[in-house]
């Protein structure tokens, strides 16, 4: 039987700050400071020291040891300065973003270490969990265990992975308390979706249906969670003079109808011929940038506009129900692309194959 941790119990943990909490883990950050302390002197940490850091739950959950280590060594080793400059010149948006983030970490170590000691995690977590329930069945956040929060330093980002919520310490400091609460609510929403009653049994990773199902589910999960924080996050990102993220976000949303038309063709193709279904599903997933966030959010916003929160909550454990709502909304809207009957029949067939009661 799973142990249920109530909010009242949680507050007992957090009453004296993160240091006494079993839910808040700063060990990854502490290992990070030790690692870069050596690198800045051009001393290579031992493999045991690297392993200790990457065995911390936060870094381990990210499952990206090789790339994170490479970036840390590149930024903090004085002997690699020329290589760092060359990498910044040729890096794509995402790699450059992570390198520039670590450069700022290098410049702001004193302030970050002070912030690490002063952050008021208990208030932030309390407010975030209340907000997370906006698009969840009532009582979900009180009936189920709260998410463990792992602090690390790797990228200006936060993620829900491996049953944990992972926050970059500098990102946490930069976005400020208001947006931090909303961002944590977004990730907590992902966490609590794991506790909703299961009506759909997803295809296995080896199934040819897995990529297309994952595309549908990702559009739903990220799109709905983005209702909690993305308007404020986009405003925050506009401070970036290059506005790379905002440009990608706005462009993806502006191409919504075009992307839905292409998805329609893919679904229709799958309905007629299962040959190459896995590859077609992968193409569908890659068609939606930023891990499906912008286009999923577009869908969720339209559904919210026409049907409200209750309708969204009812779909949370079924991405096919989410797509049906979106299909109905597009019929109401004059300028939206409406998925064809053939595509919707295919989704209905996939839903019946995945419905738990039918197995």
Note the pLDDT of residue 244.
85
pTM assigned to the model: 0.88
pLDDT, mean of residues 38-43: 97
DSSP H stretches of helix in the chain:
7-14, 27-39, 47-54, 57-62, 65-76, 81-90, 93-107, 109-118, 121-132, 140-143, 169-193, 210-225, 230-237, 244-254, 256-272, 277-287, 293-314, 319-332, 341-354
Do 202 and 213 form a contact (C-beta atoms < 8 A)? yes
Distance CA 81, CA 63 (A): 27
With contact defined as beta carbons under 8 Å apart, do 338 and 219 qualify?
no
pLDDT digits (tens, 9 = 90+) for 3-34: 333 333 333 333 333 333 568 899 999 999 99
The stretch 314-343 carries a mean pLDDT of 97
- pLDDT value for 12: 33
Average pLDDT, the chain: 91
Q: Judge contact between 354 and 201, C-beta under 8 A.
A: yes
- The pLDDT of residue 122: 78
The stretch 269-275 carries a mean pLDDT of 89
pLDDT recorded at residue 23: 80
Query: Mind listing the pLDDT tens digit for each residue in 127-167?
Result: 999 999 999 999 999 999 999 999 999 999 999 998 899 99
Q: What backbone torsions phi and psi does residue 198 show, to the nearest 5 degrees?
A: -85, 125
Q: What percent of the chain has pLDDT over 90?
A: 84
CA 302, chain centre distance (Å): 21
CA distance 29 to 151: 6
165: helix, coil or strand? strand
Domain range summary for the chain, segments of one domain joined by +: 1-196, 210-358
Edge-first strand order for the sheet with 24-25 is 24-25, 149-152, 164-168, 158-161
In the predicted structure, residue 297 carries a pLDDT above the cut 90: yes
Q: Which of 75, 84, 74, 32 is nearest to 56 (CA)?
A: 32
- Tokens 């990220």 correspond to what residue? 222
Residue 64: per-residue pLDDT: 94
| Residues 212-226: b if buried by 16+ CB within 10 A, e if exposed | bbbbbbbbbbbbbbb
pLDDT at 21: 55
Mean pLDDT of 327-334: 96
User: Which residues, in sequence order, are CB contacts of 155 under 8 Å at separation 6+?
Assistant: 97, 98, 101, 168, 171
203 Rama class: left (phi>0) / alpha (psi -120 to 50) / beta: beta
What is the SS3 assignment for 95?
helix
pLDDT digit string, tens, across residues 192-225: 999 999 999 999 999 999 999 999 999 999 999 9
Please count the CA atoms within 13 angstroms of the CA of 284 that sit on its side-chain side: 28
Among 37, 110, 97, 105, CA closest to 67? 97
- SS3 assignment, position 149: strand
């Amino acid at each position: 039987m799973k142990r249920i941790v109530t909010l009242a119990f949680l507050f007992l943990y957090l009453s004296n700050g993160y240091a006494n909490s079993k839910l808040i883990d700063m060990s990854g950050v502490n290992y990070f400071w030790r690692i870069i302390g050596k690198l800045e002197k051009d001393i290579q940490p031992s493999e045991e020291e690297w392993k200790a850091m990457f065995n911390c739950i936060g870094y381990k959950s990210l499952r990206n040891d090789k790339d994170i280590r490479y970036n840390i060594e590149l930024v903090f080793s004085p002997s690699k300065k020329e290589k760092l400059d060359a990498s910044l010149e040729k890096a794509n948006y995402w790699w450059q973003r992570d390198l520039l983030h670590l450069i700022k970490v290098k410049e702001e170590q004193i302030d970050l270490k002070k912030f690490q000691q002063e952050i008021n995690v208990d208030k932030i977590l309390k407010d975030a969990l209340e907000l997370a329930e906006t698009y969840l069945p009532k009582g979900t956040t009180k009936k189920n265990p709260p998410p463990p929060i792992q602090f690390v330093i790797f990228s200006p980002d936060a993620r829900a992975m491996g049953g944990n919520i992972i926050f970059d310490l500098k990102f946490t400091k930069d976005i400020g308390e208001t947006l931090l609460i909303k961002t944590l609510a977004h990730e907590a929403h992902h966490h609590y979706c794991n506790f909703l009653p299961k009506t759909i049994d997803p295809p296995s990773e080896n199934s040819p249906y897995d990529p297309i199902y994952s595309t549908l589910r990702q559009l739903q999960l990220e799109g709905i969670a983005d209702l909690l924080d993305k308007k404020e996050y986009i405003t925050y990102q506009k401070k970036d003079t290059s506005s790379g993220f905002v440009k990608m976000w706005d462009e993806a949303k502006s191409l919504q109808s075009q992307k839905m038309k292409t998805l329609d063709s893919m679904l229709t193709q799958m309905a007629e011929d299962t040959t190459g279904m896995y590859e077609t599903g992968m193409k569908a997933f890659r068609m939606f940038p930023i891990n499906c966030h912008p286009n999923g959010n577009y869908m969720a916003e339209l559904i919210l506009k026409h049907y409200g929160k209750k309708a969204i909550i009812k779909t949370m454990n079924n991405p096919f129900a989410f797509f049906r709502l979106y299909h109905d909304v597009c019929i109401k809207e004059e300028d939206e692309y409406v998925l064809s009957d053939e595509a919707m029949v295919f989704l209905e067939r996939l839903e019946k194959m995945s419905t738990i009661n039918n197995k």
